[in-house]
Amino acid sequence: MPPPSSMFEGSAGPYTAHELMAICLSRDVRNGETVACGANSPVPASALVMAKYLHAPDNDVIVLGCEKYYPFTGPGKQFFDFANRGGLDLFHVSGGEIDVLGNVNLHAIGDYEQPDVRLPGAFGTAVLYFVAGRINMFRNEHTRRSLVERVQFITCPANPPEGVRMESGPNLLVTPKAAFRMGRDTGHFGLESLHPGITLDDVRDSTGWRVEVPEEPAGEVPLTEEPTAEELRTLRTAVAADLRSTYPQFFTDYVLTEV
């Protein structure tokens, strides 16, 4: 059972922060898209499958490492060839560090040659960051060490070098506490909504950049819409049935049982 700090109570009953994150990401998926996430990414994988069941039935869903949602016969090359040809409308990215501009660090904390922490690396994420139609981001930890003013190493640059083409880039960032939206005019993340029970002070205290709130209505920060009974039921039944064999620990620890 998740700790009390990661639990919420809504009109449809209790739910976890991870369930809410998956639902937030799911709502941003559009019908008729080819959507994907990497391996070891149960939150966005759940979001993509949920969207297909609820409001995006025409989508092609790709989840690396999941037999049911991996349409290629080979390991990685076919997928990356497909992506490089412009096949992905939406891809999901996380990282050891994410900054206010949307840069992502998947390599090292501290000096690159002798880092304090060596992160797992990109496995092609830097390429997908450029070629996917848009990028939605997630971070399961909302702290000043994970959401930083500037990343210590840029694996995925939000602003590509001159002459390098990039699709729309980072769009949405969802954490256990809030949702942020990339400002197309400002070029950095602004606070879109607070999750139920989370205060603005809490988010500001746990975010490494200056948290900007929506200008209209003045000073008012919207609350993230709580999960509906249908969303929770779909996540806990149909989505769990499709993905539990790929992510058994996630569905045991972070997704509540439907009763």
Q: Is residue 255 part of a domain?
A: no
Amino acid at 80: F
Q: Is residue 1 part of a domain?
A: no
Residue-wise DSSP of 28-68: TPPTT-EEEE-TT-HHHHHHHHHHHHHT-TT-EEEETT-GG
**Unique residue bearing structure tokens 């992510």:** 247
* The model's pTM: 0.93
Least Cα distance to 155 among 83, 102, 112, 103 occurs for: 103
Q: What angle do CA 40, 94, 39 make, to 5 degrees?
A: 20
Specify the DSSP element, H or E, that contains 241: helix 240-243
Tell me the residue range of the domain where 224 lies. Answer: 17-250
pLDDT value, residue 159: 82
pLDDT value, residue 120: 80
Here the contacts of 198-203 (C-beta below 8 Å, separation 24 or greater) are 202/177, 203/142, 203/177, 203/178
Neighbours of 75 (CB within 10 A): 9
pLDDT value, residue 2: 58
Query: How far is it, in rounded angstroms, from Cα 175 to Cα 143?
Result: 10
DSSP designation for 111? -
pLDDT value, residue 66: 94
Q: Is residue 131 part of a domain?
A: yes
CATH number of the domain at 233, please: 3.40.1080.10
pLDDT value, residue 219: 61
Query: How far is it, in rounded angstroms, from Cα 255 to Cα 253?
Result: 6
Q: What angle do CA 235, 241, 242 make, to 5 degrees?
A: 90
Q: How far is CA 230 from CA 2, 59, 119, 237, in A?
A: 22, 19, 37, 10
The token pair at 4 is 């009390």
pLDDT value, residue 21: 98
Q: What is the total count of domains within the chain?
A: 1
Q: How far is CA 220 from CA 178, 191, 223, in A?
A: 14, 11, 9
pLDDT value, residue 5: 55
Pairing between β-strand 108-109 and β-strand 97-99 as defined by DSSP bridges: unpaired
**What averages of pLDDT result for each successive group of 10 residues across the chain (259 residues)?**
70 95 98 95 98 98 95 87 94 96 93 84 87 95 96 90 75 97 90 94 97 72 94 98 97 88
Q: What is the phi-psi region of residue 190: left when phi exceeds 0, alpha when psi lies from -120 to 50, beta otherwise?
A: beta
Q: Is residue 67 part of a domain?
A: yes
pLDDT value, residue 76: 81
Residues paired with residue 97 on neighbouring β-strands, in sequence order:
105
pLDDT value, residue 207: 98
Residue range 104-159, pLDDT digits in tens: 999 998 888 888 888 888 888 988 998 999 999 999 999 999 999 999 999 999 88
Q: Is residue 132 part of a domain?
A: yes
Q: Is residue 258 part of a domain?
A: no
